[in-house]
Structure 1
Amino acid sequence: MTGRARVSQPRPGRRASFPDNLPDPGPAAAIAIAARRFEITLAGRTAMMDLTRLPGRASLARSFTQALWQACQVGGPAGTVRTAMSLAEAIHRFWRYLDATGSSVQALAEIDVATIEGFDAWMDERGQHPNHRRHQMGDVVMLLRLADAGEQGRLSEEASRRLFYVSTRPGVPPRPRDAYSDSVRVALKAAARADVAAIVQRFRPALAQECETRIDRLEMDAFAEIDRVGFITVKNDLFRQLYGARNYAGISNEGLSDRMHGTRHLLLGDLIALFVLLSLETGLEIEAIKTLRADCLKNPSSGYVEIEYCKRRARHAEWKRLRVRDGGSGTPGGLLRLAIQWTATARGHLGSEQLFTYYCRGRLTDVVLPMQSARKVWVKHHRLQDDNGKPLKLCLSRLRKTHKAAWYRKTGGQLRRFAVGHTVEIAANHYGDIPAMRPIHEATVAQALMDAVEDALPPTVLTPEAEAEILAAPSSAQPGLPEGMATDVPAFLAGEQDVWLASCSGFYNSPFVSSGEACPVPFWGCLECRNGVITTRKLPALMAFLDFVMDQRKVLSEADWQAKFGRVHYRISAQILPQFSETDLDAARSLAARQPTQIYLPPEAGLA
């Protein structure tokens, strides 16, 4: 069947317009370079870049300050405050290298290839981790590129060519971020769901009550101020009066501001529960969850909805969508609808489109602040522990790996179904090849080896019908039977060559020793031997031995029992007995029950 090729149509464009009075960055750059100190605002955060502590080398310091200022501008390589701080730290480290080695470099023009390579060697000699060393080296090389572009012709031609690459010294493969275990994952989800239920109760409208006391009247006035402005500061007269009245009445004021604002807005601690639950349910990256917008839910239909999110690392394809379940608060879609409802008031006061707008430190904000201390408080509150019984170190970036690990187990390692949101190669290398998946992979390899052994050494079983056919025509032995069996069929089938669990077609022709020597393998090794043949006559012995194996399961630990009897139990119960009819098996059980108890003795017991 042929079809018409689909031709993508260009999307209609719009004219771009820019304000006529854009400020000239030149004066600001000149002031920043002269002072070696300037303020930056990146991704909603503000920080101060300070290079005034660089000792000496004034000309070189100006060149690096200019490069850092350019890197921190909109569209520059810094992008975030954290990256900008890393660049500043790399400059200070480079200065420590110059001072420690007694370098005479005073200006950008004096930097040569030996100076750049010496910085790499100096960090290596000081025992710097190879990956950290390469990171620091990359920051300095990038700043030197910016400085060279801003002061063209200063660096020599050889030094400029050296900036084409970061380092010739190898790094080490990064240690993969591991997933949490299933027990920790279950505990995290339970704690997060408990917090969500508490938030639902907290946002329920309070019943109207009469203002019987002065504290009641002050609380109503304070809540009215929160509803009007969005928040109330601790310096506000209403809050001070309420605080004093409660204190005079002997009522605790601990966490009073958070408790009051928590009935109207989300708090920083609430975000942890929401982030944990969303990441474990959907597998979204934490940085994508933090930047969700209030209109992130798209195309709801048939109990599902799409989440539109931004993944900044996916260059030129940042905006993505993930289809998830939609319904009550137990589904990702329902949870996001609750979050949209809870943050509507705060977003209205701020005029923000960011979903996670909340109250923190006396104000409303839509920028997710660092959560280190809040995570510790949350873990301590829910008494979360790791697999060793110690307080859990909650790393939000491990939650996506945890979700992926659970999905990997659910799909049975099928990479095509497992790879959601990335390529199969990324799924295998970054989410499948992690320590948490090692037991599954080892069990799979072990099972594959067992399957290979079963295919190579299938048991030779003769049912009564097969015995009759062989007795009637010994020369036409069926394929797959041991070689040489047809040479002495009457003696073989009469039991003259029997061992305990099988009939042996070659006791002195064992595959385990030289021809002519007696077979040294313990009796249940006959079930794996190419000479072993299972006939109806051996069924009572097999039944008796199987009973002994099951009795040992009550005595030994599961691991010890599997190591000693797991293989032979599977061989008898799954590969041998199903080939006989129920009539033959019932007769064998009856015969085994009438025989005296057979106790397994190791081969060493017969040597006395």
Structure 2
Amino acid sequence: MAAPTGTWRTVATARHNWGVWRDFILFLAELPVPPVRPDALTVEHVKAYHAYRQSRSSEAYAWKDRQCVGVLLRSGEMKRLVPADVLAFARARGVGQVPVPKSGYSDGELHRLVTAARSDVVAIRNRFAKSCVLIEKFREAPGQLDEPDRRAASLLVEIAATGEAPRIVPKDRRELMSKQFVVLPDLVPLLVLMVAVTGLNVESVKELPAAHRILGDRAVEVEVLKRRRGSGRWHTTVTWEVGQPGRELHTPGGLYLLLHRLMGPGRDCSQTESLWSIWRNPTGTRDGSRLASHVAPFATRLDSTFNNAKWTRRHGLLADQLSPPSDGDGVQSSAKELLLEFNRLKTSVDVRRTKSLGGYLPSAARTNTVPVLYRNYLRNDPYTRDWAEEIIAEAMVDAEQVAHVTARRETVGGKTSRRFTGTVIVGQDNHVATGTNAEGCVDATEAAWSACRNPARHPASEKPCTVSFIDCFSCENSVVSGHHLPQLIALSDDLANRRGMLSSDEWGHRYGSAWDAIHRDILPKFTPAEVGRARELAGESSLELVEEPWESP
């Protein structure tokens, strides 16, 4: 099939444009001095029409009608005759005319919508299955049925053969026909579940064809129509997974085949090529034949509206409460009803798929391009922003941890140290004990900012220690107690000052391990009060005394 190449996507669009053009021509004809030729048209004429539309409708509709006039003036030979300034003025967008996509539903709201739709589709499937079982029993052994079931089965057999409803009370007639055909109230849950499972927008779902190809009982191939792709690119072929038996409501191919089977009897009566076919109650129509009862609901227009609020209200679906549940007087506030909007549902499905793929847009853009997915569905969605901020925060924490580990990979005596391996003595403000360890104290020798258990034997080299005092924080011989806190805080302040004197890489190479040991392994072991008292006693850090002169910044 050749793809359409025009820009009018539906019959409704063509009718709307034709009405605006007719209105524009009639408006010009009623002017005191109407333009008689296209080249006599001026910007003032278009401005006057825009003001006229503003007086009769909203500002948004007035701008849309003005742009529709621009479509007329740019069509065919007209664009060669109309002045360029008129074309530019009619084409310009108004302030606020760029549409802002609506945000999607929260995870909880989306779950409630999909669960309600899936429960209704299960009920529809069971309704049809129960009818088939009743008809089969009636044909095999009608005597085994009681009188009400036998009468109902007799009517169902007649309905299945003719497709026409018996002449009974309209309400009972719709209930009876719903056992054999899909009816109007069934459309809302079917559309919700199809959008949620396939990821298509509702317009594409409404235009799904009945023609398909099954690929080895594993997948189904369907031609999808999406008008927003531009001229010549409306048609595309998708391959949907069918899934295992019993999982039809969770896979796009399985759900498509289920709907194809449910609406098969209706399509036989309506003779439509669309997937969708419903039975409508012919009450109030002159013709009660099957052509008036069985229709393709989206054959003439895609913007057919349904009672979405009635469906959500029947299921008791409520929106998430973003504010506290009670007002200032302590009175419990009532939750708002959850409004069903298919554009928001489509956004929610795209957001959920993007999250499941870790935010990788090339894989998440299944029915749209990456720019369209981001601009129209993800960018203005608050739940996507919250999720992205959480991902960024987690990434920053991971990056900080990696930076800490990297900064502390200092080679000391031929051994790579990644953490503070010394000892921290908490609760002792006196000096570290020296000499004999008779009372269980730690024997050590004082160093610059800590004490050393055995300066004559480095743990890595087993030789006398020759490393800088700044590397003591990476040595397991190092011992820190409470009386070292003022020196450590002074060293920390000195290291912080040198951060502005050196590049990040050089500072991290020189002091990163010591800084990390002080702030992540030593200071957290002491109470805030102990650290506060030590800060009052902090003096000079003597950092310059332990570095070689040529190493000073």
- TM-score category (smaller protein): 0.5 to 0.7
User: Which residue among 82, 91, 107 is the counterpart of 1:167?
Assistant: 91
Equivalent-residue separation in structure 2 for 1:537 and 1:390 (angstroms): 50
Q: Does 1:498 align with 2:484?
A: yes
Q: Judging changes above 3 Å, is the alpha-carbon distance between structure 1 residues 432 and 333 closer, same or farther for their aligned structure 2 residues?
A: same
Equivalent-residue separation in structure 1 for 2:520 and 2:40 (angstroms): 90
Q: 1:119-171: CA deviations, max 9, x gaps?
A: 4874898799887555322211223445x74xx7xx99453774377434565
Counterpart residue number, 1:323: 240
Counterpart residue number, 1:115: 44
User: Which residue among 165, 168, 176 is the counterpart of 1:260?
Assistant: 176
Equivalent-residue separation in structure 2 for 1:480 and 1:131 (angstroms): 70
Equivalent-residue separation in structure 2 for 1:166 and 1:480 (angstroms): 74
SS in structure 2 of the partner of residue 313 of structure 1: helix
SS in structure 2 of the partner of residue 387 of structure 1: coil
CA contact (8 A) 1:504 1:531 kept: no
CA contact (8 A) 2:208 2:225 kept: yes
Q: Does 1:439 align with 2:380?
A: no
Equivalent-residue separation in structure 2 for 1:371 and 1:260 (angstroms): 25
CA contact (8 A) 2:422 2:479 kept: no
User: Which residue among 464, 478, 496 is the counterpart of 1:511?
Assistant: 496
User: Which residue among 287, 308, 313 is the counterpart of 2:228?
Assistant: 313
Counterpart residue number, 2:11: 81
Q: 1:551-577: CA deviations, max 9, x gaps?
A: xxxxxxxxxxxxxxxxxxxxxxxxxxx
Counterpart residue number, 2:411: none
Q: Judging changes above 3 Å, is the alpha-carbon distance between structure 1 residues 391 and 462 closer, same or farther for their aligned structure 2 residues?
A: closer
SS in structure 1 of the partner of residue 496 of structure 2: coil
Counterpart residue number, 1:590: none
Counterpart residue number, 1:292: 208
Deviation larger for 129-138 or 191-200: 129-138
Deviation at 1:80, TM superposition (A): 2.2
Counterpart residue number, 1:181: 106
AA aligned opposite 1:509: D
Equivalent-residue separation in structure 1 for 2:520 and 2:14 (angstroms): 80
Deviation at 1:437, TM superposition (A): 0.7
Q: Does 1:136 align with 2:65?
A: yes
User: Which residue among 296, 313, 321 is the counterpart of 1:366?
Assistant: 296
Aligned-residue CA RMSD (Å): 4.8
AA aligned opposite 2:115: A
Equivalent-residue separation in structure 2 for 1:432 and 1:393 (angstroms): 20
Q: Does 1:345 align with 2:275?
A: no
Q: Structure 2: where are the runs of 5+ without partners?
A: 283-292, 322-334, 409-418, 424-450, 459-463, 501-511, 537-553
Aligned pairs (5 A) from 1:18-417: 78-88=8-18, 90-91=20-21, 94=24, 104-105=33-34, 107-109=36-38, 111-119=40-48, 122=51, 134-145=63-74, 149=77, 157=81, 159=83, 162-163=86-87, 166-168=90-92, 171-172=95-96, 173-204=98-129, 205=132, 206=134, 207-208=137-138, 222-232=155-165, 239=167, 242-243=168-169, 255-300=171-216, 303-314=218-229, 315-317=231-233, 318-327=235-244, 328=246, 329-330=248-249, 331-362=251-282, 363-368=293-298, 371-388=304-321, 389-417=335-363
Deviation at 1:291, TM superposition (A): 1.8
Counterpart residue number, 1:522: none
Report % sequence identity.
Answer: 21
Q: Judging changes above 3 Å, is the alpha-carbon distance between structure 1 residues 493 and 402 closer, same or farther for their aligned structure 2 residues?
A: same
Q: Judging changes above 3 Å, is the alpha-carbon distance between structure 1 residues 507 and 333 closer, same or farther for their aligned structure 2 residues?
A: closer
Q: Structure 1: where are the runs of 5+ without partners?
A: 1-12, 17-73, 233-237, 244-252, 516-527, 546-597
Q: Which has the higher contact order (CA 8 A, sep 6+)?
A: 2
Deviation at 1:420, TM superposition (A): 1.8
TM-score of the aligned structures, taking structure 1 as reference length: 0.59
Deviation at 1:115, TM superposition (A): 3.4
CA contact (8 A) 1:294 1:354 kept: yes
Q: Judging changes above 3 Å, is the alpha-carbon distance between structure 1 residues 160 and 457 closer, same or farther for their aligned structure 2 residues?
A: closer
Deviation larger for 277-286 or 117-126: 117-126
Q: 1:319-356: CA deviations, max 9, x gaps?
A: 22133342332333222222222222122222323221
CA contact (8 A) 2:67 2:92 kept: no
TM-score of the aligned structures, taking structure 2 as reference length: 0.65
Counterpart residue number, 2:442: none
SS in structure 1 of the partner of residue 190 of structure 2: helix
Q: Judging changes above 3 Å, is the alpha-carbon distance between structure 1 residues 434 and 514 closer, same or farther for their aligned structure 2 residues?
A: closer
